[in-house]
Amino acid sequence: MAANNPTAGQFGLLKTSAKQGPFVMVNLLKFAVTGRSGTETGRQSYERYAQAVAPLLKKVGARLLWLGIVDQVFIGDDMDAFDHVMLVEYPSRKAFLDMVSSPEYLRANEDREAGLERAVLLAADPLFSRPAPARKVTSD
């Protein structure tokens, strides 16, 4: 079975990173056939995890940017297939680590672990920022 949690080395690299500011965690998710109870699907277990984590994301200032269903591997092979892709923006690596180290998260993570056959998470830093939209100036 593939690892669905970071190794100690991966966790340590994120924890000791000198990078500051917002970043996006790219989540590539492949659901298990059965979930935590054995009578539910992996997707159902993961959805319970997602519901429990939503207030924790808000608490640390994170936000879901995008969630999509994968319908095809265009370049790659069968091992590259995932069910969902999710982009979550965090204000900092510290905020992310605070969340995933909290007792509330660790309890919810049991459903995440049971719900996933395989996961890849990629910490991605922005190369550039989009400029703010221009404001319409009106004269009074």
| Domain-wise residue ranges, the chain | 20-124
As a whole number of Å, the end-to-end CA separation of the chain is 66
CATH, domain range 20-124: 3.30.70.100
**Residue 31 scores a pLDDT above 90:** yes
28 in Cβ contact with 80 (< 8 Å):
no
**Residue 97 scores a pLDDT above 70:** yes
Q: Which amino acid is at 104?
A: E
The rounded percent of the chain whose pLDDT value lies above 90 is: 79
**What pLDDT sits at residue 2?**
61
Give pTM, 2 decimals. 0.86
**What pLDDT sits at residue 1?**
45
**Cα(140)–Cα(138) distance, integer angstroms:** 7
Mean pLDDT of 106-114: 96
82 in Cβ contact with 4 (< 8 Å):
no
**What pLDDT sits at residue 78?**
86
Mean pLDDT of 23-27: 97
**What pLDDT sits at residue 135?**
73
| Higher pLDDT pick, 123 / 126 | 123
Residue 138 banded pLDDT, cuts 50, 70, 90: low
Count of alpha carbons within 13 angstroms of residue 3, beta-carbon side: 6
The rounded percent of the chain whose pLDDT value lies above 70 is: 93
**What pLDDT sits at residue 105?**
97
**What pLDDT sits at residue 71?**
94
**What pLDDT sits at residue 140?**
59
